[in-house]
Structure 1
Amino acid sequence: MAKISINLATGSFQQEEIIVGIDLGTTNSLVAFINPDKNPQVINDTGKGLLVPSVVHFNAQGDALVGNDAKEFLITDPANTIFSVKRLLGRSYKDVAAHQDTFSYKIIDDESDSLVKIKAGDKFYTPIELSAEILKELKARAEHALKTPVNRAVITVPAYFNDSQRQATRDAGKLAGLDVLRIVNEPTAASLAYGLGLDPAQQKTIAVYDLGGGTFDVSVLSIQNGIFEVLSTNGNTFLGGDDFDRAIVYYWIESNKLDKEAVTKDSGLMQSLRLKAEEAKKALSTQSLYNEKLRFDGFEEVKPGEIWCTLDKQTFENLIAGKVAETIASCKLALSDAKLTTAEIDEVVLVGGSTRSPYVKQQVAAFFQREPHDQINPDEVVALGAAIQADILAGNRSDILLLDVTPLSLGIETMGGLMDVIIPRNAKVPTKAGRQYTTSLDGQVNMKISVYQGERDLVRENRKLAEFDLKGIPPMPAGLPKVDINFILNADGILTVQAIELRSGVKQEIDITPSYGLTDDTVEKMLIDSITHAKSDVDQRMLIEARSEGEQLVYTAQRFLDKHASYLSTDEIKNTKIHIENLQQALEKAEKDEILKKADELNEFTRPFAERVMDVAVSAAMKGKSIDN
């Protein structure tokens, strides 16, 4: 095997290859690099434009189609065409349940806090797998355009992404065959693209207004000595250009005197109208009137005919005024949280395709009382900044100081022998990160915490650093205790691990020296192994997670039958037992999709009478209460 040297300061391969910057977006994604002239440049390949729509379509065989080609299936096969997957990264069903109606595909509700899964055909996918498909497409386009392998990348995320969402993004990169050197905040990347923060002597306070297709956020950053600090962030993960499109669609439905309920029921017709609305919105950035017809052959609820799609600039601005006002309200809150006034903001940067609207620019300029930066294409600015960050990590910018980083990930063992990363490799030192866990058994009073270092998904492939028990957890039902596990890594490389049960205050901590005894060769081998085995590691992780969830569901369903049999009919009890048995058989076969399918069937079957039992319990509790006058 060829020898590959590794820089322990960055934990990255020192090969003569290009490191790319990737903007993994809600609506569109793109990839950029530093060209031979030392300028950031977005990669345009395959003749399909710079932007890769963040859309994944699965055909009947389960093969994935990504980007422009997949977008066509939003109309013809919406159930198997996944969009806005970024909204689902690192989230459970409970996090997104209120927005289920905005997705045309099925998100699985397993009545737990585990991460969401999406059903397409007979297969189940995690947002990590779906994001990996988008990243693979970006990687392939970059390799084709640059005529060289692309194995390393910087990927951007919103400033408000939590640790779970950042780790999910890293995992997606790993699954796509990328060594993710750094996860960078999108506002930081946008600022770098404008040259802000590249001069170490520069001190500035910046507001980054990012209005994309599906999300809005505003971040207030402080730049000092080349270090970016997020002072505050605010926004709405379900507000963006899609809302502008929706407002136009409803306007056209009304102005054409169409049956709103009938049209909205028809996903194919709605997608056709939405795409036309998107076209109108873009046109009105440079013209004052849009006037087109939409002809259709007839759908499920609507007879064949045509819809006049007419819209003038003033009406469009009236339609979006409320949504834009919401973004300005978020800007006010962000400034308030940062304890700053608009006069103390030195620069304003616009990001996201929706900021092309002249009305949006006017409102932002009026609020901050200064003209915002919009010279760089707002769709490209984040990817270009990510490429600059990649160039910094490659050591090609001697004027910029890189802080020390940890060379290998640090985490703990979770159910099924999985590694749950708390501090990812390449995190700046000193750093602190934490996550919340709970118990898996009723009455559990102790929790074993095993700390590992490494990049593999299974702890047995990583290096064990320490182990200790958190004792004295009050006996409670499974899932009720809340245990915060915090990792604090100081500048000397000493790791302190704290475990605190929040309800009782029970606490335990230990100090570890993670880098002790690791040679350069060992670190190198661990990094190479993690990339070589990425696909098999992720497959194993997802099977273990599916088994853990399936076993937990069997346990919960059996307890439900034991406690509430008197509220159920004989058929309900009998069929629930059949579904439990089917799930147990799937668990024995150890096939991920089969386990998830049987778990979904058990959930769907039991949901109606589980809700009925809950209603009875609530009613009984209410009757037992007295109200004092």
Structure 2
Amino acid sequence: MILGIDLGTTNSAVGVVDSGFPILLADEDGRRITPSAVWLGQDGSIEVGRKALRRRAVDPERVLTSVKRLMGRRWEEVSTESSVSRGVDGLPRILGKRPEEVSAEILKELKRIADWRMGTSITKAVITVPAYFNDGQRAATKRAGELAGLEVVRILNEPTAAALAYGLDKLQEKSRVAVYDLGGGTFDLSILEMQEGVFQVLATHGDTRLGGDDLDAIILAWVAERESLDVAQLSPDALVRLTVESERVKIALAGEEETVFQVPFFDGSRSLEIPVTRGDLETLASPWINRTLRHCRQAMADAGVMPEDLDAVVLVGGSTRMPAVRRAVSGFFGKEPDVSQHPDEAIALGATVQAGVLDGSLRRVVLLDVTPLSLGIETFGGLMNVLIPRNTTIPCKAGEMFTNAADGQRSMKVRVLQGEREMARDNWELGVFEVAFDAAAKGQARVGVQFRIDENGILEVLARDVSTGTDTVVTIGSAAVDVDDEAVGKMVGESVEHAFEDMAERIFTEARMKAEELLPAVRMVLGQGLATPEEKGEIEAAVTEVEEAMANGAANPLKAAVKRLDTATEALAARLVEKAMEEALEKRLGIG
């Protein structure tokens, strides 16, 4: 068995071919994406991923991110980086470690996840790199794998991996494909030609200093100028908090029209609360996006092709979620880009396909069809939760973990849906069944639901009670794939026509559910008398605002009001936890 690994600037992922299917492996929390972050403690201890990111609040200078930008680079190339020092051998160091040593810790974590999931030690891997990585950078990536205990059997170009994930090897002979890869730290545009099942990179152009991290810096600079902040004078802690909020604002505005840049007491005394619209972000991002298009022009010129010569344009990388990026790519190439795969997972999935070919799990890549419409289940509040997005190449499988919504609940209804609307009622029901489990407190029962579509288009739904391991398996049949073209067109058309009202209803429903859970808890805590008069006044005002927003039925005002209530109760909640811990300790000592 060989692992397929995407060692990314911002996030990384690992997969294997299991029972003939390329799948990405999730950690103990059910997350397939691992942040490419490493915390190096002064005592030599190391934490990776989300654990490392949580350290930024208390130890920001020892949390390393975007290490991929430094891989295989000479001292002269990175000497201006504030976090980098020169070792006695003249090579770059970060907190005393070579960049590949830091990357090795990320790879060790991915290997640990794979070994745990598969129940065996896996020692071989395919690892992806940007197409424009030079020999030194590729060698550094291979060394990182070896330091992590892996035999790197193939260094795979990221655009080739993306093309495999999108099933582009199934296009007609001599197909030409453009892969636009805009991730957290790097960008490249690659032109590939496929002939007789082999992908050849005709041309690639990119920038190792152009990615989502740079847009975060642009947002932060805009905030600093607006608020007359001297970024150079900020403490590391304040700078980290502002940078994290810049990233959150960027991500939020990919799906919302407006958000608030909000950092309370970022330097111990001052707070920031700045409304930011998608229009503001797109104005700031315009030069950043145009830089990517200059690389696109150069790559196209180097390959000697025109936009009309391309059979497909695919988007890879989390930054391609931005509507402005997608519009720019569509305008430049004169065709709608293919966004059928998860932008953060496509490269890892392609690496997994390549790994399966090398270890014999996939004798040949067979990608027979795509799902015409999204498949998912109804969740609490009547929402559609998509497990397999529209246009996913089959065979495929995907799953997610769900919990009980009420105390004492003894079963969960799994309603299998197909369609593109946000609310369950507006989609088509393919089947429904019950999963029984022992009565448990709210959120304690765990049921895993997995959809699997085989090469014949047969949908099988598996639901597992995690506590007992009991499986309920229902075969839906080929209805998931065999859908009349006219019906597909009608469903997609309705999803576009009702997109804004559907999203508003979804936002309102999610905010209402959170409010209904938050309000009783807030009232109970207020009754314990732990709040100061100032806090109580602020919380009661926030409660009133939430109740009024719920009564008015407006989505964004309710979401904003719930967030304000959440923020207003943070300090009180922390004191409540401290009090409970003190009482527990006193009780324990008393017993002793």
TM-score (norm. length: structure 1): 0.56
How far does residue 389 in structure 1 lie from its aligned partner after superposition? 0.2
Structure 2 distance, partners of 1:395, 1:204, is: 26
Could you tell which deviates more after superposition, 129-138 or 305-314?
A: 305-314
Extract unaligned runs of 5+ from structure 2: 367-592
Structure 2: distance between partners of 1:137 and 1:185: 22
Aligned to 1:352: 317
Q: For 1:590-619, what per-residue CA distance to the aligned partner results, in whole angstroms no more than 9, with x for missing partners?
A: xxxxxxxxxxxxxxxxxxxxxxxxxxxxxx
The answer to whether the Cα contact below 8 Å between 2:216 and 2:246 also exists between their aligned partners in 1 is yes
Q: Does 1:324 align with 2:278?
A: no
In the superposition, relative to structure 1, how do residues 148 and 261 fare at CA in structure 2: closer, same or farther (>3 Å)?
closer
SS in 1 for 2:328: helix
Counting only pairs closer than 5 Å after superposition, residues 301-312 of structure 1 correspond to structure 2 as: 304-312=269-277
Q: Distance in 2 between matches of 1:399 and 1:387?
A: 13
Secondary structure (helix, strand or coil) at the match of 1:377 reads coil
Q: Does residue 1:20 correspond to 2:12, yes or no? A: no
Q: 1:79, 1:107 → 2: CA distance? A: 14
Match of 1:149 in 2: 121
From 228, 249, 253, the equivalent of 1:258 is 228
* Shift in CA distance, 21/399, structure 1 to aligned 2, threshold 3 Å: closer
Residue of structure 1 in register with 2:27 after alignment: 45
Counterpart for residue 289 of structure 1? 258
1:292, 1:326 → 2: CA distance? 26
User: Which of 201, 213, 220 matches 1:242?
Assistant: 213
Distance 2:180 2:266 in 1: 41
Assess, with a 3 A threshold, how the Cα gap between structure 1 residues 388 and 97 changes in structure 2: closer, same or farther: same
Matched ranges for 1:410-559 at <5 A = none
Is the alpha carbon distance of 1:94 and 1:253 closer, same or farther for their aligned partners in structure 2, counting shifts above 3 Å? same
Q: Is 1:117 the counterpart of 2:117 in the alignment? A: no
1:274 paired residue number: 243
Asked if the contact 2:188/2:206 (under 8 Å) is kept, the reply is yes
Distance (whole Å) between structure 2 residues aligned to residue 181 and residue 347 of structure 1: 29
The unaligned stretches of length 5 or more in structure 1 are 1-17, 402-629
Residue of structure 2 in register with 1:35 after alignment: 18
Is residue 125–residue 355 contact of structure 2 (8 Å, CA) maintained in 1? yes
Q: 1:57 aligns with which of 39, 43, 63?
A: 39
Q: Is structure 2 residue 104 aligned with structure 1 residue 136?
A: no
- In the alignment, is the contact (CA less than 8 A) between 1:210 and 1:216 conserved in 2? yes
Match of 1:596 in 2: none
Task: Check conservation: 1:246, 1:274, Cα contact below 8 A.
Answer: yes
Deviation at 1:198, TM superposition (A): 5.3
Residue in structure 2 matched with residue 193 of structure 1 by the alignment: 165
Q: Is the 1:156–1:184 contact (alpha carbons within 8 Å) kept by the matching residues of 2?
A: yes
Moved over 4 A (4+): none
Alignment correspondent of 1:229:
200
Q: Distance in 1 between matches of 2:240 and 2:365?
A: 47
Q: Structure 1's 305 and 66: CA in aligned 2 closer, same or farther, altered over 3 A?
A: same
CA shift, 1:69, in A, is 0.9
The 3 A distance-change label for structure 1 pair 145 and 296 is farther
Shift of 1:65: 1.0
Are the counterparts in 2 of residues 90 and 115 from structure 1 also a CA contact under 8 Å? Answer: no
Q: CA deviation at 1:181?
A: 1.3
Matched, 1:380 2:363: no
- Cα distance, 1:57 vs. partner? 1.0
**C-alpha contact (below 8 Å) 1:75/1:267 kept by paired residues:** no
Cα 1:262/1:397, change in 2 over 3 Å: closer
TM superposition shift of 1:32: 1.4
- Determine whether 1:170 maps to 2:146: no
Structure 2 residue identity aligned to 1:342: P
Give the conservation status (yes or no) of the 8 Å contact 2:108–2:148: yes
Pick from 124, 132, 140 the counterpart of residue 160 of structure 1: 132
- Contact 1:213 1:354 (8 Å CA) reproduced: yes
| Distance in structure 1 (CA, Å) of the matches to 2:269 and 2:327 | 41
Would the aligned equivalents of 1:48 and 1:68 in 2 still touch at CA under 8 Å?
A: no
Matched, 1:218 2:189: yes
Cα drift, residue 210 of structure 1: 0.5
Aligned counterpart, 2:474: none
Q: CA deviation at 1:46?
A: 1.8
CA distance in 2, matches of 1:373, 1:107: 42
CA distance in 2, matches of 1:379, 1:286: 16
Counterpart amino acid of residue 288 in structure 1: E
SS of equivalent to 2:138: helix
CA distance in 2, matches of 1:297, 1:236: 32
Aligned residue number for residue 77 of structure 1: 59
* CA distance, structure 1, for counterparts of residue 225 and residue 66 of structure 2: 27
- Give aligned pairs, total: 366
Map 1:369-408 onto structure 2 (within 5 A). 369-399=334-364
Deviation string 1:98-141 (CA, Å, 9 cap, x unpaired) is 4x14xxx332266x8x53222x2xxx211121111110000001
Report the Cα offset of residue 373 of structure 1. 1.1
Other structure's SS at 1:169 match: helix
Query: How far does the alpha carbon of each residue in 1:235-287 deviate from its partner, in whole angstroms, 9 at most, with x for none?
Result: 111111112212222222233x2322455x42221211111111111111111
State the SS of the aligned residue for 1:366: helix
CA contact (8 A) 1:19 1:153 kept: yes
Matched residue of 1:190: which SS? helix
CA distance in 1, matches of 2:308, 2:41: 54
Deviation string, structure 1 residues 381-419 (Cα, Å, up to 9, x no partner): 000000000011012333469xxxxxxxxxxxxxxxxxx
Once residues 115 and 166 of structure 1 are traced to their aligned partners in structure 2, the CA distance between those partners, rounded to angstroms, is 16
What's 1:431 paired with?
Answer: none
Q: Could you say if the C-alpha distance between residues 311 and 388 of structure 1 is closer, same or farther in structure 2, counting changes exceeding 3 Å?
A: same
Change (3 A) 1:48 1:400: closer
Paired with 2:338 and 2:91, the residues of 1 have a C-alpha distance of: 38
Distance 1:321 1:386, change over 3 A: same
Cα distance between partner residues in 2 of 1:95 and 1:253: 28
User: Sequence identity of aligned pairs in percent?
Assistant: 41
Residues 39/398 of structure 1: CA separation in 2 closer, same or farther (3 Å cut): closer
SS in 1 for 2:192: strand
C-alpha separation between the residues in 1 aligned to 2:169 and 2:85? Answer: 41
SS at match of 2:100: helix
Q: Matched residues in 2 for 1:325 and 1:51: separation?
A: 29
CA root-mean-square deviation: 2.0
Q: CA deviation at 1:73?
A: 2.8
- What are the superposed Cα offsets for residues 324-360 of structure 1, whole Å, 9 maximum, x if unpaired? 0110111001001111111111111111000000110
Cα contact 1:89–1:169 (8 A) shared by 2 = yes
Q: Equivalents in 1 of 2:50, 2:365: separation in Å?
A: 38
Counterpart Cα distance in 2 of 1:187 and 1:283: 27
The verdict on how the C-alpha distance between 1:295 and 1:218 changes in structure 2, with shifts beyond 3 A counting, is same
CA 1:284/1:307 → structure 2, altered by over 3 Å: closer, same or farther? same
Q: Does the CA contact (< 8 Å) of 2:300 and 2:306 recur in 1?
A: yes
Secondary structure in 2 matching 1:221: strand
Matches of 2:360 and 2:146, distance apart in 1: 22
- Name the SS for the 1:72 alignment partner: helix
Separation in 2 of the partners of 1:244 and 1:87? Answer: 16
SS of 2:274's equivalent?
A: strand
